[in-house]
Amino acid sequence: MEKSFNKGLWNVWLALGMSFLSHRDFAIEDLPKQKADIIRDYYGDIRTIAIGQLRSAWDVLKSHRSDLAETMVAATIAASASNVPEIQEFAEDVYFQMMKTEFETTNAMKNVETHTIDQIDLLTVEHGNNETIMNRYLNFFRKRVNAKLANTNTKLKKMGVQFVDEIEKLYEYLVQLRKLPSDAMHEDERTLATLKLLQYLDKGGKIEMYNRYVHKLALMHAQLGNHIESGRCYVQHASRLGWSDRILRGEPNNSLEEQSEWKRHVQLLDNAYQQFLIGEAWEMAVKVCQELCHVYETVLFDLKALSTQLEKQSQCWKFISQHDRVFHSHFLLSFRGDFPDELRGSDFIYRSGRGKNPESVMDFTNRIKTKWKDAKIVNSSDRIPPENESPDFKEQFIRIAKLNPSSPEEIDGGDFKWKNTKAPLRMKQYYREMELNTFYFTYQDKRKKKKEGNEFRNLWITQVFVIAEETIPSIRRCVPVIKHVSKTFSPLQTAINNLNVKTQELINLVEVCELDPSHDIRSLSMSVNGVLDAAVMGGVAKYQEAFFDSDYFDETPQDKNLAEKFKEALRWQLQEAEKALGVYAKHRPDNLADHVTHLEECLIKMKRDLMEFLAHPRRKF
């Protein structure tokens, strides 16, 4: 038998024999009783004959049972759903013998476990929403396999019982995923269900199935146009693989052929590169290229592939340096009231839009309204009303707040880490908007007592920083918030912040126009106009009236040390506005000559006003 064993032939023969046991056409018990009795009396039950022959063959194949597990595990589980006691008993015996044989040989049951997981996965695809059918399969493990394990040695029993428990848990996670519609509206729910499954598989060391489902998530994202998230999934899948020649099983449903581990690894990284390229996340594509270059140079020694990869990397750097990008918006969604447990009382950061198309606040809000028709949806960054925060609140309330990108350094009062580097503007813009986990939104603190007159005097602003559970973009488009940090700014500090933000905007626009004179000059024109034309923002006089010609510092003595910072912010803005006006005058079209002349006059006036203010702020310390 040892010399003549033909694994392929035996697999075919056993699969054919086992198909007799589970094929519906042979299910006599499903026929009307009178007809079933006639068939049994005249012809007998062909399945009984098949069981006899299969038992004889299985006894002969004792030393090769592990080799045949891929066929027989799936076949015995399929046959276990039969209502015929003889078939159930045979399926139980064969399955248990495979468990026992592998345990005695390897002190583990990884082979049987792997093929069992594959079959449970397949069955939930076919019957996931049919609890009656699925319970038949689960009872095979709960009752019959556990009954067999009860009479074995302690170690096998312990390992087997744990295995059966894991199969039940796995089934629950899979069914939760299968119950969800596969349309775009339920993308978040499907992603969340997949992540729960991945967490369970990762914890249990089910590497092969983990890779299968992170790959499915990549395919789902790509299909929906979430190219960067898809690329992230491919990178995560690739990170679980090495560079060996070990042969990995094919996954036809996931477009993966049987191949060596290193080839699969390369394919996944190439998939990630393609998705990042489509999503214009060229910096991420560069990182993929760098990893592959290192492997081609030091592990695989494939110099031709290295050359090709370096060319791809070079192309990405060109894209980064030459092309502007429109980045997607981020929104904070706060769910309060009667929502599912995973949403109730929680905040999430959503990365909006699909493909290269950003999503407006209105479009995003309408999408959420379509999904949660019974919810009251408020598009505001204001505080959530206390009654909606109550655990007794039984309705549905969703607040949507548009977020601004931030960083951990800025929470502590520092600068964005890329701000003072020599990196080109386009790269700074990328890291300002991407690969981050910190955002903020602001609202006016209406609890503060208002003063009549100057609006700047009443701008008590609360800035709320929200920190995501992971870096965004990630493998999902909605990420839970794990921390909130609130800071309240006085009106003078708010004025300083606003001045500095406007000045930085001017600097960025000047850099863009200097690099590319063909760039639309209108953005720079509007920004310079907003700074210099007193009719637009009120000029220095408006600030002087709010803070220096009033009792502001008597009421807010802690702001006295901000007076010099405020003056410095004004000086800096005037300095950069003058530079920006020069660039605007240099590149403006002929029909805007009068506008430039007007702004030059405004600049002269602003300089005069600022010099007078700095010399005589009217309030001294």
- Tens digits of residue pLDDT in 219-245: 999 999 999 999 999 999 999 999 999
Same-domain check for residues 483 and 495: no
Q: What is the pLDDT of residue 449?
A: 64
Reply yes or no on whether the pLDDT at 44 is more than 50.
Answer: yes
How many degrees, rounded to 5, is the angle at CA 227 between CA 221 and CA 233? 60
Reply yes or no on whether the pLDDT at 107 is more than 80.
Answer: yes
Reply yes or no on whether the pLDDT at 447 is more than 70.
Answer: no
At 43, the pLDDT band (50, 70, 90 cuts) reads confident
CA distance 128 to 138: 12
Q: What is the pLDDT of residue 483?
A: 96
218 or 606, which is more confident?
A: 218
In order, the DSSP letters of 306-375 are HHHHHHHHHHHHHHHHH---PPPPEEEEEEEES--TTTTT-EEEEE--BTTB---HHHHHHHHHHH-TTS
268 or 616, which is more confident?
A: 268
**Which tokens go with 293?**
């270059």
Give me the CATH number covering residue 603: 1.20.58.740
Tell me what the mean pLDDT of segment 594-616 comes to.
89
Let me know if 83 is exposed, middle or buried by CB neighbors in 10 A (0-12, 13-18, 19+): exposed
CA distance 525 to 506: 10
Mean predicted lDDT score pLDDT of the chain: 90
Q: In DSSP terms, which residues pair with 479 in a beta bridge?
A: 349
Please check whether residue 568 lies inside any domain of the structure: yes
Say if CB 617 and CB 566 are below 8 A apart: no
Same-domain check for residues 262 and 170: no
Say if CB 319 and CB 268 are below 8 A apart: no
Same-domain check for residues 13 and 91: yes
* Single pTM value for the model: 0.88
Rounded to a whole number of angstroms, the CA Rg of the chain reads 34
Same-domain check for residues 573 and 540: yes
Q: Residue 129 carries which DSSP code?
A: T
Please check whether residue 343 lies inside any domain of the structure: yes
Same-domain check for residues 441 and 497: no
Residue 8 burial (CB count, 10 A): 7
Same-domain check for residues 230 and 301: yes
Please check whether residue 149 lies inside any domain of the structure: yes
Please check whether residue 191 lies inside any domain of the structure: no
Q: What pLDDT, in 10s, does the model give residues 494-542? A: 999 999 999 999 998 998 888 777 776 888 899 999 888 865 666 788 8
Same-domain check for residues 71 and 220: no
CA distance 262 to 268: 10
Q: Distance of CA 311 to CAs 60, 271, 306, 316, 388, Å?
A: 59, 17, 9, 9, 56
**Which tokens go with 569?**
């912010």
Percent of the chain's residues with pLDDT above 90: 58
Reply yes or no on whether the pLDDT at 148 is more than 80.
Answer: yes
* Domain that includes residue 81, residue range: 1-179
Closest CA to 409 of 400, 399, 418: 418
Q: 164, 179, 194: which is the final residue of a domain?
A: 179
CA distance 488 to 494: 9
CA distance 481 to 496: 29
- Hey, is 188 helix, strand or coil? helix
Give me the CATH number covering residue 313: 1.25.40.410
Please check whether residue 203 lies inside any domain of the structure: no
Closest CA to 461 of 500, 417, 496: 496
Lowest mean pLDDT among 280-294, 476-490, 603-617: 603-617
**Which tokens go with 183?**
């349309």
Reply yes or no on whether the pLDDT at 396 is more than 70.
Answer: yes
Same-domain check for residues 483 and 496: no
Same-domain check for residues 271 and 349: no
Please check whether residue 546 lies inside any domain of the structure: yes
CA distance 343 to 171: 23
Please check whether residue 187 lies inside any domain of the structure: no
Q: What pLDDT, in 10s, does the model give residues 374-390? A: 999 998 888 888 899 88
- Crossing angle of the two packed helices 85-106 and 110-127, in degrees rounded to 10: 140
CA distance 541 to 605: 11
Same-domain check for residues 465 and 518: no
At 618, the pLDDT band (50, 70, 90 cuts) reads low
Q: 179, 201, 235: which is the final residue of a domain?
A: 179
Same-domain check for residues 462 and 507: no
How many domains is the chain partitioned into structurally?
Answer: 4
Q: What is the pLDDT of residue 372?
A: 94
Tell me what the mean pLDDT of segment 343-360 comes to.
88
Dihedral in degrees, nearest 10, Cα atoms 603, 604, 606, 611:
140
Q: What is the pLDDT of residue 2?
A: 55
**Which tokens go with 506?**
């001017």
At 450, the pLDDT band (50, 70, 90 cuts) reads low
591 contacts: CB under 8 Å, gap ≥ 6: none
Reply yes or no on whether the pLDDT at 398 is more than 60.
Answer: yes
Tell me what the mean pLDDT of segment 453-460 comes to.
80
Residue 40 burial (CB count, 10 A): 13
Reply yes or no on whether the pLDDT at 403 is more than 90.
Answer: yes
Reply yes or no on whether the pLDDT at 620 is more than 50.
Answer: no
Tell me what the mean pLDDT of segment 408-416 comes to.
90
Say if CB 461 and CB 442 are below 8 A apart: yes
Percent of the chain's residues with pLDDT above 70: 96
Beta strands in 166-224 (DSSP E): none
Same-domain check for residues 480 and 371: yes
In order, the DSSP letters of 124-168 are HHHHTT-HHHHHHHHHIIIIIIHHHHTTS-HHHHHHHHHHHHHHH
Please check whether residue 75 lies inside any domain of the structure: yes
Q: 489, 520, 540: which is the final residue of a domain?
A: 489
15 or 349, which is more confident?
A: 349
Q: Which residue has the tokens 């004889």?
A: 56
Task: Give CA 172 to chain center in angstroms.
Answer: 23
